Amino acid sequence: MLQISEPGGRPARHVTRKRAAGIDLGTTNSLIATDVNGEVRTLADATGAHLLPSVVHYGADGAIVVGALAKAQAAADPANVIVSVKRALGRSRDELTAGGDYRQYRFDAERDAASPAFVTAAGVRDPVAVSADILRTLVRRAEERTGEAVDGAVITVPAYFNDSQRQQTRHAASLAGIKVLRLLNEPTAAAVAYGLDTREEGDIVVFDLGGGTFDVSLLSLRKGVFEVLATGGDTALGGDDFDKVVADWLADQCGMESIAARDYPAMMQVANSAREALSDGDRVELAWGGASYLLTAAEFSELAAPLLRRTIVACRRVLRDARMEAGAIDNVLLVGGATRMPIVRQAVTDYFGREPLQDIDPDRVVAIGAGIQAEVLAGNKPAGDFLLLDVNPLSLGIETMGELVEKIIPRNTSIPVSKSQEFTTFKDGQTVMALHVVQGERELVGECRSLARFSLRGIPPMVAGAAKVKVTFQVDADGLLSVSAEEASTGCKAEVQVKPSFGLDLGEVEKMLKDSHEHAKADMAARALREARLEATRLMDAIDSALAEDERLLAASEKAGIDQALDKLRQAMAEENAAQIEERTEQLNHASEDFAARRMNMTVGAALRGESINVIDERTE
């Protein structure tokens, strides 16, 4: 048959639809979601299970098993079954061994401590390679279920994942052969799923308690724009920690001083089963070593109280950052399997004064939101349907003279973002500028986290303060940072992609924020003192240099006045009183005004000596 077109008509275009997927790479379980008959859904395996346990077993024959079958071998072969690998991303060997969560594993001693790797029967595997095996299994499931290759995926990460952890997630996807369309913060993914399903508008808190991480984000949903107003959380808090308090209780009941490495996986499985049972009942019996121990819901609530307090403290901090009260929140969304615990739901209800929403399965909501965003980025869904505005969780800045921090991108700034600021040289003839990129909320470099160092060379030798160096910080949609510096007159440029060797210590993000509030007054006082000393030092250096060259321009009484002002300023600096230093600096400025004017007149006169007035006029036209 022939296709007949009307005269002047346009031929129909064949629209190629790309297979996009959303992946929730979780600490305890992982999922993959894609479009099925016009609706984004999570995909199940051949047994009907949607959740893929984030567990990998490495056999002596080289076989790699991922999921429930691997989890079943955790007690029998703990050293070769890697669990909770997401917590190991971006962390050093010392961090992994300090907490005891990885006590059953042996680490490769030949690897750098900053990039640890597990020694397994199938060889050495680092956290990136283990994560890649999980991702590869999820993509294979999608391809088997849909009969199509996955063209690209949106992968979710905790909002508080730092640059190193995000980079390693991308690297894992690359090893698995996945094209990453975007890394998406988990709370934002949940908001996408709820926002598009319910068309809610207002201010919404996403309370995301997963197996290994906790995130809380405050989002504003207005006219299709999902804007993250503030975010917080704890990268070392999740359902695993609730299991651990039960395991510790059981060990105490058994008379153990500590849990042996060989017993740890099996005892954690018993604790996990007990915790899940308490979500539906008021008591549970735990069997261990031939004996049985009764744990009630009330006892579990008491054991878990410190963990619950940590979640509420994070909620309170996020609301404070956004200058909002708990009563002003329109909805609270519960995300993550650990939010099934009644004690968690009750704690959230008590704090916010309202019942949280659980319309979408809390285990699946993140993957669904990621799948919806993947459809947009793949071109299958109009981009105008909604707009995502994420934020960076901690301030990014640069070290300035006096070990001070100049914040370029403040925390909770919407990303992607690019911001620039101009800096200058401190000393005469300076041709190199060392740049130190830091992250944190404190005023002094020593209290912040170092991210990277690089140098800008080729600055023309000028007097101090004459050179103009533009420093640009750029954070992309995945939360990854690049920093560049460019000198204005020559165009010489240097840049760095920030890829720190390992991530923040456990609880360090929360500690950094807490410390910034507790030490705010002291930090500002320290900054004021440093700035006053810097200004005073700069002025004294300039006057000492001027006196060495042109002291002949001064009368004896004028020289004595400047010397007296210099002595008073040095005395004030020794006493470290910011207000007094500023006052004495101003006095020295006043005492040296006439001297500075004479030197300037002499310099200008020397520059113009012998010039024709006509030539000077031509230059100024």
Catalytic positions, written as ranges = 24, 86, 186, 208
Longest CA–CA span in the chain (Å) reads 109
Report the alpha-carbon distance of residue 46 to residue 36 in Å, rounded.
17
N-term to C-term CA, the chain: 79
Amino acid at 300: F
Instruction: Write out the DSSP string of 570-612.
Output: HHHHHHT-HHHHHHHHHHHHHHTHHHHHHHHHHHHHHHHTT--
- Residues 6 or more apart whose CB falls under 8 angstroms from that of 570 comprise 540
Cβ distance 596 to 603 under 8 Å? no
Q: Which residues pair with 202 in a beta bridge?
A: 221
Cβ count within 10 A of residue 81: 22
Q: What angle, 0 to 180 degrees and rounded to 10, lies between the N-to-C axes of helices 264-277 and 239-253?
A: 110
> Within 108-238, where are the H helices?
127-146, 163-175, 186-198
- Tokens read off for 147: 């009969």
Cβ distance 440 to 398 under 8 Å? no
Rg (CA), the chain: 31
Report the alpha-carbon distance of residue 255 to residue 271 in Å, rounded.
16
Cα angle 13, 15, 18 (rounded to 5 degrees) comes to 165
The position carrying tokens 């993550």 is 336
Q: What is the dihedral of CA 497, 503, 507, 513, to 10 degrees?
A: -10
Name the residue among 619, 554, 620, 536 with its Cα closest to residue 593: 554
Cβ distance 335 to 207 under 8 Å? yes
Report the alpha-carbon distance of residue 335 to residue 348 in Å, rounded.
12
